[in-house]
Amino acid sequence: MAAAAIAAATDYGFVPKRLTPGWETVLPKRSIAATFAVMAVGLAMGGMINKELRRQH
């Protein structure tokens, strides 16, 4: 979840406007937030699966 938060902060807080992904021009803020939330869930699930697979071996 921290990786998604860092990505969002970097994309929309630290990077100059001309270098941002540009999603804000076509998507509402709610959709952008949902995208970063889904990314956080996906990364967390991948980490949990990896941890489980390592534990089994």
For residue range 35-52, list pLDDT tens digits in order: 999 999 999 999 999 999
Domain segments of the chain as ranges: 2-10+26-56
pLDDT for 11 equals 84
User: Within a 10 A sphere around the Cβ of 42, how many other Cβ atoms?
Assistant: 11
Q: What is the pLDDT of residue 43?
A: 92
- Model-level pTM? 0.71
